[in-house]
């Protein structure tokens, strides 16, 4: 069970990014690959513990599960694996170790409250706003 130390790493990363923008974080979006070695439920539980007594207390951790995607040479295509028990192209059955996605353990985005953000912090950072993702209510 190493999810608590992972959760503390997430909190540290989020606090650093938030501090740089002098913003309050209401949610942290995490990309979690199926091959990251991290168990989602244990991580969600650990996140609450890791947030205690920090400015992130009460924030949500929103996990996007990333499946394992391999490249299949005969098909010339990226394919999502159906199961971690079988590293074969789900279409043609060729074994492959060319893993293109699925190892992610990445704080992808933060939901921050605009009112709490200082104006000078904007523009100083070349941050890209994520337009296509919807902010969950």
Partner 1 sequence: MSEPRLVEVRRNVLKQNDVIARSLREQFRAAGVFVVSLVSSPGSGKTMFLERTLTQLQPHYRVAALVGDLATENDAIRLARSRAPVKQITTGTLCHLEAAMVQNALADWNLHELDFLFIENVGNLVCPSSYDLGENMRLVLMSVTEGEDKPLKYPTIFNSADVAIVTKNELSAAVEFDWDAARASIQSVRPGMQIFRLSAKTGEGMEEYLSFLARQLTEQRAPAHS
For partner 1, the binding residues (CB under 8 A) are 1-2, 5-6, 9-10, 13-14, 17, 21, 26-27, 29-30, 35-38, 84-88, 95-97, 105-116, 127-130, 133, 135
Which residues, in sequence order, are bridge partners of residue 66? 33
Choose between 29 and 79: whose C-beta lies nearer to partner 1. Answer: 29
**Minimum distance, C-beta of residue 1 to partner 1, in the bound complex (Å):** 6
- Closest by CA to 59, choosing from 26, 15, 22, 31, is 26
The SS3 of residue 127 is coil
**Minimum distance, C-beta of residue 115 to partner 1, in the bound complex (Å):** 4
Choose between 52 and 83: whose C-beta lies nearer to partner 1. Answer: 83
Which burial class, exposed, middle or buried, applies to 81 when counting CB atoms under 10 A from its CB (0-12, 13-18, 19+)? buried
- Residue written as tokens 């999502």? 80
**Minimum distance, C-beta of residue 19 to partner 1, in the bound complex (Å):** 12
């Amino acid at each position: 069970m190493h999810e608590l130390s992972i959760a503390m790493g997430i909190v540290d990363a989020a606090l650093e990014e938030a501090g740089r923008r002098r913003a309050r974080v209401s949610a942290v979006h995490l990309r979690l690959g199926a091959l990251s070695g991290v168990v989602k439920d244990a991580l969600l539980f650990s996140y609450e513990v890791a947030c205690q007594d920090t400015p992130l207390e009460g924030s949500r951790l929103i996990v996007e599960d990333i499946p394992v995607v391999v490249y299949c040479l005969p098909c010339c295509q990226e394919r999502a694996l159906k199961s971690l028990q079988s590293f074969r192209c789900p279409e043609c059955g060729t074994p492959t170790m060319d893993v293109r996605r699925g190892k992610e353990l990445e704080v992808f985005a933060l939901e921050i409250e605009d009112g709490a953000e200082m104006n000078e912090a904007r523009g100083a950072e070349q941050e890209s706003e994520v337009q296509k993702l919807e902010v969950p209510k």
